[in-house]
A and B are shown apart, each in its own frame.
Chain A
Amino acid sequence: MFGWVRLSVIGLFLLTIVYICLSWYSRSVRRERLEKQFDEGSEHPGPREQFIEDGLKAYEGSLRRKLIWGVYVIPVILVVVMIYVTNFM
């Protein structure tokens, strides 16, 4: 009867692992790009650490970071669509 509760708990746990991995990956990609940007261009004022710090702060408010929440949203939509297609179509 409460199978969906169990699925939600396990799903939440697994998706949280995916979310953490993905947000680390995305941040790491951004940091590397900022490092390359600084090392290649000479016109950036200020020290390297400051430049990267500012870039990551801008990244924190970006749409790209918010899209990672899709890790939680997409499976829920998928499950609802699958329930509809399997049982009511």
Chain B
Amino acid sequence: MIKTALLGAAASVACVSMAFADGHIGERGRDGNLSLIYWQAPSILSPFLSAGTKDVEAASLMLEPLARYDETGKMVPWLAADIPTVENGGVSEDLMTITWKIKPGLVWSDGTAFTAQDVKFTAAYCMNPDGGCAHGTKFEGVRSVEAPDDLTVVVTFDGPKPFPYGPFVGVESPILQAAQFAECMGAAAATCTEQNFNPIGTGPFTVTEFRTNDVITLAANENYREAGKPAFATVTFKGGGDAAAAGRAVMETGEFDYGWNLQLAPEVIAGMQAGGLGTPVAGFGPLVERLMLNQTDPDPALGDRRSTTDTPHPFLRDPAVYKALSMAIDRPLLVEIGYGQAGRVTCNWIAAPAAVNSTTFSCDTQDLEGAKAMLEAAGYVDTDGDGVRETPAGQPMEILYQTSTNAVRQDFQALIKEWWEDIGLSVELRNISSSVFFGGDAGSPDTLQKFYADVHMYANTFNGTDPQTYLGNGLCDKAPRPETQWQGENMSRFCMAEYDALHAQLQTTAGAEARAAIARALNDMYVGNGGMIPLVHRGRLSAHANTLGGVKLNVWDSEIWNIADWYRIGE
């Protein structure tokens, strides 16, 4: 009896002292103000009307999903009681329905009860065709969303879905309050400025004042479900300026506690870190910087039909050529120059999570002589002595290499041009303003989709941890072409019947390991057959003040996903 009492007393003392050492325990609002700086200022607090990361993350302070991804990429229940699976009966055997059970006792920040009706409303809001919902793909294949009672949501798909965790999972698919957004369905969504600027949520903070593209002031949510959290009473979420100013404000002057997405050269970051007030943190999601190879001919002489599958590319489809081009690149140097600690060499289209990162290829050593030998052996020789090789058909190997206007990308272009010219190609460089390059305007010749060039360089990624939709970017019918008004995600116009068949198989395969194996096989098929040349696995780099504790950089969800757990490290 005495022994257990003593043990209990000792344990509780240990717990308390641990807690005080961590700063975790305490009353809500004890640590005053938290200041965040996002150098791209949030414009709107609705993730459904804007797909910009800055807006989606700013909204995540208020709006929360049923489940989300933690910093390791694992799915954790958030507003739901647990993750439904086939084993626990949450997902039906035929993979056509998924049933979410909501945690009991949840309330919105205005005190009203959170029910399944709000979840059902959110689905209707985003699936409305006139609303222009930016994350409509999360609800792809959903036939209906029902709320049989206040704590149960049933999502029914129109076909078996081995990965049913699209709707309501992740930062892009949070729940809106039905009562607040009732008047905002469809075309009226854009007129609801008050709601879009001041969403009522279940998150740790509520909006006090929102100035678009400027600053958001927030206060702790009095009705937040966890007692003693958040530790901060108010938040100042400032936007604007550039990454360098944000880095300075966190690491050199100490004016801000957290600076998001500091895309700066490694030496600049190191210099700022020497200020001693802040620490940079890096995390690696699936973002990969790559060279897309045009499998079709962009020759202007083809007029309207240039860069369509009518005419294949004269030489980029030859394995000898794309392998040689890849061999000529010194990837470790590119990482060192461009990204430092926020970059890693990769040979894969899908570089993360670890389960889907294939180990087939190795590409971290540059081999210029091997590349030259490969081209010679395949018949690409310089017949007229001008330093540029010709194809066996006699066409000179000239490459137009385009990317967006960005200092690091222009550095990469200069280096890669040098290496490719060394192995006997002629390279012309071009850079295009991001707003045009990524704009998707069907009338402009300089967009990603038109691909009126031989090589494009940019980075792409996918949300969440399941790459099925992303791998769909390699399907034959996703090639942008005049018939689709130049819309489509298969920029390199890659087309292989086996790839399409294997992807179809992925859509009906259940089980994480089996799916990961198919994903790796698809990656190998795509990269191995010249769809792209991957360059750098890029991470996200942010910085936080040394007095800020609890930060766990999450690249799979919102970076500030666990802001409720942050605290000030005190003396």
Asked if chains A and B come from one complex, the reply is: no
Using a CB–CB cutoff of 8 Å, the interface residues on chain B facing chain A are none
Using a CB–CB cutoff of 8 Å, the interface residues on chain A facing chain B are none
